[in-house]
Amino acid sequence: MGDGAVLVARAVCKSYASPAGDLDVLKQVSLAVDAGEFVSIVGESGSGKSTLLQILGALDQADGGEVCLQKQAFEGLSDEARATIRNWHIGFVYQEHHLIPELTALENVALPLLIRGVSQGEAQARAWDVLHRLHMEHRAEHVPSRLSGGESQRVAVARALVGKPSLLLADEPTGNLDEHSAQVVFSALQSLAKEEGAAVVMVTHSQHLAQQGDRILRLQHGCLLQA
């Protein structure tokens, strides 16, 4: 599994207690993703796709195995260290856009940079640039309630990528959109992530979108298989 990969997961295991005994959600899952590579993961509902993304994103911890981002292992890190990795190196896009309703699109996108300590002027300039590249600059001063679902998701993509993360994790990023809006959002996410050289792992139910990535993997019975 490529030592030069941005993201490497080796033999990741995760189980949860249930009335019937331990439920093995992930069984020896291994994955490597290079810079600029777009990997789609498909699978039935409840197959563990979101759990895997949470582990890859340092939001949850595996029971066994290891995850490394740019050769930094997550295991054994403090909560603070894991939060730093998330803030500086990982972008997240979810099915719900989770924009702050009181902030404009520009302010929502700039927010991760402000949290890092970037000056307001620089943060807004970088946010404007990403919105422009996603063809959303004309909506920069609009609050989320004045945006369509597809526009809100493009703003969420901009927010995830404004900090130039090495890894982008997308969990059903177009799940709430009609087919046209879904394609627009997906294409924007894919092109900007490629431009930035981010490694991308996307979970989706859409076979059509999954096929547009570089690789499709299927999570089935806790195992990650070539689709």
DSSP per-residue letters across 133-202? HTT-GGGTT--GGGS-HHHHHHHHHHHHHTT--SEEEEESTTTTS-HHHHHHHHHHHHHHHHHHT-EEEE
pLDDT in tens, 114-144: 999 999 999 999 999 999 988 899 999 999 9
Which residue range forms the structural domain that includes residue 179? 34-64+84-226
Domain count, the chain: 1
Q: How far apart, in whole angstroms, are the C-alpha atoms of residue 114 and residue 207?
A: 37
Q: Is residue 16 part of a domain?
A: no
Q: Is residue 69 part of a domain?
A: no
pLDDT in tens, 200-224: 999 998 899 999 999 999 999 899 9
Q: What is the CATH number of the domain that holds 39?
A: 3.40.50.300
Q: How far apart, in whole angstroms, are the C-alpha atoms of residue 183 and residue 74?
A: 33
pLDDT in tens, 47-91: 889 999 999 999 999 999 999 999 999 998 999 999 999 999 999
pLDDT band at 3 (very low <50, low <70, confident <90, very high): low
Q: Is residue 19 part of a domain?
A: no
